[in-house]
Amino acid sequence: MREVAIIGVKNTIFGEQWDRSFRDLVVEAGVGAVKDAGITGEKIDSMFVGNMSGGQFVEQEHIGALIADYSGLAKNLHIPSTRVEAACASGGLALRQGIYSVASGMDDIVIAAGVEKMTDVPSAKASSALAAAADREWEGIMGATFPGLYAMIARMHMHKYGTTSEQLASAAVKNHQNGQFNPIAQYKNKITIESVLNSIMVADPLHIFDCSPITDGASAVILAPADIAHEYTDTPIYVKGTGQASDTLALHDRRDITTLDASVVAGKRAYEMARMGPEDIDLVEVHDCFTIAEICAIEDLGFAKKGEGGKVTFDGETAIGGRIPVNTSGGLKACGHPVGATGVKQAIEIVEQLRGEAGKRQVDGAEIGMTHNVGGSGATAVVHIFSRNR
Amino acid sequence: MREVAIIGVKNTIFGEQWDRSFRDLVVEAGVGAVKDAGITGEKIDSMFVGNMSGGQFVEQEHIGALIADYSGLAKNLHIPSTRVEAACASGGLALRQGIYSVASGMDDIVIAAGVEKMTDVPSAKASSALAAAADREWEGIMGATFPGLYAMIARMHMHKYGTTSEQLASAAVKNHQNGQFNPIAQYKNKITIESVLNSIMVADPLHIFDCSPITDGASAVILAPADIAHEYTDTPIYVKGTGQASDTLALHDRRDITTLDASVVAGKRAYEMARMGPEDIDLVEVHDCFTIAEICAIEDLGFAKKGEGGKVTFDGETAIGGRIPVNTSGGLKACGHPVGATGVKQAIEIVEQLRGEAGKRQVDGAEIGMTHNVGGSGATAVVHIFSRNR
């Protein structure tokens, strides 16, 4: 396969954007990424767009063509554009399809984007739409939504490993600490362990500050064959590994609900492809849809021993300047979580860090970074490893 | 890129299947294709699934993982599974993603499948869900649904080229003639031009017998590198070309509503890749969501001069035994149109024809076949060319 590099990136602001439409958001991200790569639309061979539920959130399917159209790439250029969906892992999988297409040699310059417009519906409708990422016939139909499912994971993690509410909260506190330095972040306020513990209980033991928010946003990257990436930018970032894995849709079918086997296997596949291990990674963006998800993720990817994710986080090992900085962007918790966009935004955070352009959240000397994007309660996981050196 | 072949195929019955669920359908197709290829689940490297609107039809997103799970490929094997959506072209694009993945060298054995369960909602809800394939903010919001949009195309085609209602009807009559010999077809009854013209008017000039039905069904194919395809089957069918193109989502933005530019461009891209032209094709499955769509398709793909599609069809040139057999499966009209599955079913029809296994609908000596799958009113088109010879 051909090696692949990222040559351009762009996020919109993440947040409640009632004055902007679904299509406004994704066009801003796409056009911004094209500009960042210094190319024009005619250079693009294909587009892949991650979106979980345009149908339920904005009554619009056929998202790929919509985006090509509103980006001015459909009418005369007729650029192929394909939507990819795997719930909250849609963005990560759009990136993976883009990698496939460049690796195959069928395409050279490719856009991989993600978008979600979630605030145009009442929050009960948003919860219901998101619950469609769980097993509707075994979970959703019983009234289970994601805070409840992740609360069960958290309760079991506490039971098996002695993880505490304070340790969970420390993940949110760190992510807000990082988010204040990210211009696109939905929340730029600092919080404390006390404010997390005193916030409303959503699904015991998860408080509302343990939960990522409902967000509007879009993100896009431009991919190119590694061989010609330097023609477009002085700082191409190389894709060294990609791994994807599935697991049962319903949580109750898993062998162990405190381990997301899909994360473990996707990580393993990405590490093998990159010929690397956790010790080679300088920073990682993990899928912290809830604080417990970050704790599980750093264990499942090999950055903490099983059961010690909470302790490691509480002790500051995952802060900027710590042993392995986690979610320098602010993560889903503080940066926001437009579900289709998140996987692409994670890649952009790593690109900005490896380019040395992350400002006050810069990880010194970062050379290799990882992203970890999860769908639902772990039925899909996709992991990518990036390097500033080929 | 590596060349790709199809080594196994399976369709479910197409029709109203109130006794079977979404997941039942896709598992039957997937398992059937695996059996047809003579492999076991452990051999599979990746799955790609076309589905337009699980969210709106069965309140279920995250379709890729669902299918891996219910096929027994998630819990222990953790096989990557990705949903692809482009409205009624979702199946054709799932096939295309599968081709990318094998061509890239990242995967060897891949399932490309498509599924839609459309009859679990009232028909008004189905129409509304399907309308999400059009431009919601410019078409859907005005009350436009697909029969109305295609009726405008038909009216303009009649105005510009003198196409008649009888000519349109002749496409439906031919497709029912073919469908009676297809074991999976939703409708196996013969119809006549008179019965089409006497059927209820849906959107003038389109009668209900000009329209494809609402259907439940699933289809799956197994892909492998061409180099090793003979290890699995004596009759691999080779992918010679794939082309995809986008156009404006809204019909009113097109330069000419009687030509689907996306079909023209996708066809051109597939022909170029295969180094072939229309004269090389022995039979073609085109996207006849309405009779007028078949007329436009055979013009746009080069099988009839612009404006002569109706005449050519009425004259029998597209019948089995004619100059260029079109929709030997019965097409969307008679075989049925489970929107996410259709693009894959088209490929299966070509595979069965090129294998010489199409029974009473066999096209004698068929060596090269084409599929043409459209999303919405032509904002996405995807064309594939297959050959029994490498």
**Over the stretch A251-291, which tens digit does the pLDDT of each residue have?**
999 999 999 999 999 999 999 999 999 999 999 999 999 99
With CA atoms as reference, report the closest residue to A127 among A57, A195, A64. Answer: A57
Instruction: Report the complex ipTM.
Output: 0.95
Which pLDDT score is estimated for B46?
97
Which A residues in the span 124-153 are in contact with B, Cβ-Cβ below 8 Å?
A: 129, 132-137, 140
Contact across the interface for A376 and B62, Cβ inside 8 Å: yes
DSSP category for residue B228:
G
pLDDT at A216 over 90: yes
pLDDT at A53 over 90: no
| Minimum Cα–Cα distance from A106: chain B residue | B1
* Other CB atoms within 10 A of residue A294 CB: 30
Which pLDDT score is estimated for A255?
94
Provide the annotated active-site residues of B: 88, 337
Bridge partners, A84 (sequence order): A50, B84
For A130, residues 6+ apart whose C-beta sits below 8 A from its C-beta are A52, A53, A87, A145, A146, A339
Of the candidates A56, A78, A261, the beta carbon closest to that of B265 is on A78
Q: Is B275 exposed, middle or buried (0-12, 13-18, 19+ CB in 10 A)?
A: exposed
Supply B81's token pair: 């599974």
pLDDT by residue (tens digit) across B82-91? 999 999 999 9
pLDDT by residue (tens digit) across A221-256? 999 999 999 999 999 999 999 999 999 999 999 999
- Between CA B194 and CA B239 the distance in angstroms is 40
- How would you write chain A as a 3-class SS string? CCCEEEEEEEECCCECCCCCCHHHHHHHHHHHHHHHHCCCHHHCCEEEEECCCHHHHHCCCCHHHHHHHHCCCCCCCCCCEEEEEECECHHHHHHHHHHHHHHHCCCCCEEEEEEECCCCCCHHHHHHHHHCCCCCCCCHHHCCCHHHHHHHHHHHHHHHHCCCHHHHHHHHHHHHHHHCCCCCCCCCCCCCHHHHHHCCEEECCEEHHHECCCCEEEEEEEEEEHHHHHHCCCCCEEEEEEEEEECCCCHHHCCCCCCCHHHHHHHHHHHHHHCCCHHHCCEEECCCCEHHHHHHHHHHCCCCCCCCHHHHHHCCCCCCCCCCCECCCCHHHHHCCCCCCHHHHHHHHHHHHHHCCCHHHCCCCCCEEEEEEEECCCCEEEEEEEECCC
Average pLDDT of A83-103? 96
Q: Residues A187, A330: contact at Cβ < 8 Å?
A: yes
Dihedral of CA atoms B251, B252, B257, B260 in degrees, nearest 10, equals -40
Q: Do domains B4-122+215-237 and B143-209+239-387 have the same CATH topology?
A: yes
**Matching residue, tokens 């499966």:** B329
Average pLDDT, chain A: 96
Which pLDDT score is estimated for B130?
87
Which pLDDT score is estimated for B120?
87
Of the candidates B68, B103, B379, the beta carbon closest to that of A74 is on B379
| Burial track B126-146 (b if 16+ CB lie within 10 A, e otherwise) | beebbbbbbbbbebbeeebbb
> By the CB < 8 Å criterion, does B246 face chain A?
yes
For B105, residues 6+ apart whose C-beta sits below 8 A from its C-beta are A1, A103, A104, B2
DSSP state string for B326-385? B-TT-HHHHH---TTTHHHHHHHHHHHHHHT--GGGPPTT--EEEEEEEETTTTEEEEEE
pLDDT by residue (tens digit) across B138-149? 998 899 999 999
Element (H, E) at B268: helix B261-274
What's chain A's length in residues?
A: 390
SS3 B137: coil
pLDDT by residue (tens digit) across B191-224? 999 999 999 999 999 999 999 999 999 999 999 9
Residue B205 preceded by cis peptide, ω within 30: yes
> By the CB < 8 Å criterion, does A182 face chain B?
no
SS3 B114: strand
Which pLDDT score is estimated for B125?
83
pLDDT band at B257 (very low <50, low <70, confident <90, very high): very high
- Which chain B positions have a beta carbon within 8 Å of A105's beta carbon? 1, 103-104
Alpha-carbon gap: A308 to the closest alpha carbon of chain B (Å): 25
Contact across the interface for A85 and B93, Cβ inside 8 Å: no
Alpha-carbon gap: A165 to the closest alpha carbon of chain B (Å): 30
pLDDT by residue (tens digit) across B273-308? 999 999 999 999 999 999 999 999 999 999 999 999
| Minimum Cα–Cα distance from B105: chain A residue | A1
- Between CA B258 and CA A345 the distance in angstroms is 40
DSSP category for residue B12:
P
Q: How many CB pairs under 8 A join A and B?
A: 227
Which pLDDT score is estimated for B61?
86
- Between CA B319 and CA A172 the distance in angstroms is 65
User: In Å, what is the CA distance from A5 to each residue of A37, A233, A237, B217?
Assistant: 11, 10, 5, 39
pLDDT by residue (tens digit) across B54-70? 878 878 889 999 999 99
| Minimum Cα–Cα distance from A243: chain B residue | B80
Contact across the interface for A85 and B103, Cβ inside 8 Å: no
- Between CA A371 and CA A96 the distance in angstroms is 12
DSSP category for residue B305:
-
Q: Residues B112, B157: contact at Cβ < 8 Å?
A: no
Which pLDDT score is estimated for B188?
96
Q: Which of A27-31, A56-60, A135-139, A199-203 has the lowest mean pLDDT?
A: A56-60
Q: Which fold has domain A126-213+239-387?
A: Peroxisomal Thiolase; Chain A, domain 1 (3.40.47)
Alpha-carbon gap: B246 to the closest alpha carbon of chain A (Å): 4
pLDDT at A60 over 90: no
- Which chain B positions have a beta carbon within 8 Å of A261's beta carbon? 78
Provide the annotated active-site residues of A: 88, 337
> By the CB < 8 Å criterion, does A121 face chain B?
no
Of the candidates A21, A60, A79, the beta carbon closest to that of B132 is on A60
- Between CA A261 and CA B69 the distance in angstroms is 13
Average pLDDT of A296-318? 98
Contact across the interface for A105 and B101, Cβ inside 8 Å: no
Bridge partners, B47 (sequence order): B81, B111
pLDDT band at B336 (very low <50, low <70, confident <90, very high): very high
Alpha-carbon gap: A7 to the closest alpha carbon of chain B (Å): 20
> By the CB < 8 Å criterion, does B225 face chain A?
no
- Between CA B103 and CA B360 the distance in angstroms is 34
- Between CA B29 and CA B187 the distance in angstroms is 20
| Minimum Cα–Cα distance from A268: chain B residue | B78
pLDDT at A1 over 90: no
Q: Which amino acid is at A244?
A: Q
Average pLDDT of A197-214? 97
Contact across the interface for B82 and A78, Cβ inside 8 Å: no
pLDDT by residue (tens digit) across B8-63? 999 999 999 999 999 999 999 999 999 999 999 999 999 999 999 887 887 888 99
CATH number for the domain formed by residue range(s) B4-122+215-237: 3.40.47.10
Of the candidates B65, B85, B248, the beta carbon closest to that of A379 is on B65
User: In Å, what is the CA distance from A87 to each residue of A187, A374, B61, B82?
Assistant: 23, 8, 7, 10
Sheet strands (E) in chain B: 4-11, 46-50, 81-85, 110-116, 201-203, 206-207, 217-225, 237-246, 283-285, 368-375, 380-387
| Minimum Cα–Cα distance from B256: chain A residue | A75
Q: Residues B197, B97: contact at Cβ < 8 Å?
A: no
DSSP category for residue B86:
B
- How would you write B332-347 as a 3-class SS string? HHHHCCCCCCHHHHHH
**Matching residue, tokens 């985006």:** A67
pLDDT at B127 over 90: no
Alpha-carbon gap: B353 to the closest alpha carbon of chain A (Å): 27
pLDDT by residue (tens digit) across B340-389? 999 999 999 999 999 999 999 999 999 999 999 999 999 999 999 999 99
- Between CA A167 and CA A153 the distance in angstroms is 15
**Matching residue, tokens 């990817």:** A301
* Other CB atoms within 10 A of residue A204 CB: 12
Domain boundaries, chain B: 4-122+215-237, 143-209+239-387
B350 compared with A125, residue with greater pLDDT: B350
Contact across the interface for A81 and B380, Cβ inside 8 Å: yes
User: In Å, what is the CA distance from A189 to each residue of A174, A212, A291?
Assistant: 11, 14, 17
Of the candidates A1, A78, A376, the beta carbon closest to that of B105 is on A1
**Matching residue, tokens 């009350």:** B143
Which A residues in the span 268-307 are in contact with B, Cβ-Cβ below 8 Å?
A: none
| Architecture per CATH, B143-209+239-387 | 3-Layer(aba) Sandwich (3.40)
What distance lies between CA B346 and its chain's CA centroid?
5
Which pLDDT score is estimated for B22?
92
Alpha-carbon gap: A312 to the closest alpha carbon of chain B (Å): 28
What distance lies between CA A97 and its chain's CA centroid?
15
Alpha-carbon gap: B186 to the closest alpha carbon of chain A (Å): 26
Element (H, E) at B157: helix B146-161
- Between CA B213 and CA B335 the distance in angstroms is 9
pLDDT exceeding 70 applies to what percent of chain B?
Answer: 100
Contact across the interface for A86 and B87, Cβ inside 8 Å: no
Sheet strands (E) in B68-172: 81-85, 110-116
> By the CB < 8 Å criterion, does A68 face chain B?
yes
Which A residues in the span 74-113 are in contact with B, Cβ-Cβ below 8 Å?
A: 74-75, 78-87, 93, 96-97, 100-101, 103-106
Element (H, E) at B300: helix B291-300
Q: Which of A174-183, A374-383, B119-128 has the lowest mean pLDDT?
A: B119-128
Chosen for mutation from A44, A85, A99, A106 (greatest number of chain B CBs closer than 10 Å) is A85
For B145, residues 6+ apart whose C-beta sits below 8 A from its C-beta are B127, B128, B130, B131, B134
